[in-house]
Structure 1
Amino acid sequence: MTAKPKFPTLSLGPVLYLWDGPKWRDFYFRIADEAPVIDVSIGETVCSKRLHFTEPHVAEVIERLESAGKTVRLSTLSLVTLERESQNVRNLIRDSEHEIEANDLSALGLLNGRPHAIGPVINVYNAATARLLAARGATRICLPPELPMRSIAEIVADAPGLEFEIFAFGRMPLAISARCAHARAKGHIKDNCQFVCADDPDGLPLNTLDRQSFLAINGVQTVSHSCQALLAELDELVETGISQFRLSPQDCDMVAVARLYDDVLHHRLDAEEALDRLRAVYPGVPLSNGFHHEKEGAAWVARARNTSFSAGL
Structure 2
Amino acid sequence: MQLSLGPVLYNWAPERWRDFYFRIADEAPVDTVAIGEIVCSKRSPFIAPHLPAVVERLRAAGKQVLPGSLILTSLPRERRQMADLVNTEELLVEVNDLTCLKPLIGRPHAIGPFINIYNEASAAFHAQRGATRICLPPELPMSSVAAIAAAVPNVLIDIFAFGRVPLAISARCYHARLHKLTKDNCQFVCERDPDGLMLRTLDGADFLTVNGVQTLSSTCTNLLGDANALSEAGVGSFRLSPQDCDMVAVISVFRAALDGREDAESGTRRLAQLYPNAPFSNGFLHGVAGFVSVAPDARSSRQHGFREPIEPHML
What secondary structure, in the 3-state scheme, does the structure 1 residue paired with 2:271 have? helix
State the shift of 1:159 in Å.
Answer: 2.0
State the shift of 1:308 in Å.
Answer: 2.1
Matches of 1:77 and 1:301, distance apart in 2? 32
Letter in 2 for 1:20: A
Quick check: 1:92 aligned with 2:85? yes
- 1:220 corresponds to which of 193, 206, 213: 213
What secondary structure, in the 3-state scheme, does the structure 2 residue paired with 1:44 have? coil
Once the two structures are superposed, residues 147-201 of structure 1 have per-residue CA deviations (whole angstroms, 9 ceiling, x without a partner) of 0111101111122211100000010110000000111112211010000000000
Letter in 1 for 2:312: A
The CA RMSD measured in Å over matched residues stands at: 1.1
Letter in 1 for 2:264: A
The aligned counterpart of 1:311 is 312
The aligned counterpart of 2:253 is 260
Alignment of 1:1-313 (within 5 A): 8-304=1-297, 307-311=308-312
Matches of 2:107 and 2:255, distance apart in 1? 31
Once the two structures are superposed, residues 80-131 of structure 1 have per-residue CA deviations (whole angstroms, 9 ceiling, x without a partner) of 1100000100011114521100000111112111110000010000011000
Letter in 1 for 2:42: K
Matches of 1:105 and 1:265, distance apart in 2? 33
Distance 1:305-1:161 versus aligned 2 partners, 3 A rule: closer
Letter in 1 for 2:46: F
Matches of 2:274 and 2:233, distance apart in 1? 29
Matches of 2:89 and 2:190, distance apart in 1? 28
5+ unaligned residues in a row in structure 2: which ranges? 300-307
What secondary structure, in the 3-state scheme, does the structure 1 residue paired with 2:93 have? strand
Matches of 1:310 and 1:50, distance apart in 2? 36
Matches of 2:57 and 2:108, distance apart in 1? 24
Matches of 2:157 and 2:60, distance apart in 1? 25
Letter in 1 for 2:150: A
What secondary structure, in the 3-state scheme, does the structure 1 residue paired with 2:294 have? strand
Matches of 2:156 and 2:298, distance apart in 1? 32
What secondary structure, in the 3-state scheme, does the structure 2 residue paired with 1:233 have? helix
5+ unaligned residues in a row in structure 1: which ranges? 1-7
After alignment, is 199-208 or 301-310 more displaced?
A: 301-310
Matches of 2:275 and 2:208, distance apart in 1? 17
What secondary structure, in the 3-state scheme, does the structure 1 residue paired with 2:87 have? helix
What secondary structure, in the 3-state scheme, does the structure 1 residue paired with 2:101 have? helix
State the shift of 1:241 in Å.
Answer: 1.5
Matches of 1:55 and 1:74, distance apart in 2? 12
The aligned counterpart of 2:304 is none
Matches of 1:305 and 1:100, distance apart in 2? 39
State the shift of 1:53 in Å.
Answer: 1.3
State the shift of 1:208 in Å.
Answer: 0.8
Matches of 1:227 and 1:180, distance apart in 2? 22
Matches of 2:168 and 2:42, distance apart in 1? 18
State the shift of 1:215 in Å.
Answer: 0.3
Displacement over 4 Å in runs of 4+:
none
Q: How many residue pairs are counted as aligned between the two chains?
A: 305
Distance 1:300-1:85 versus aligned 2 partners, 3 A rule: same
TM-score (norm 1): 0.95
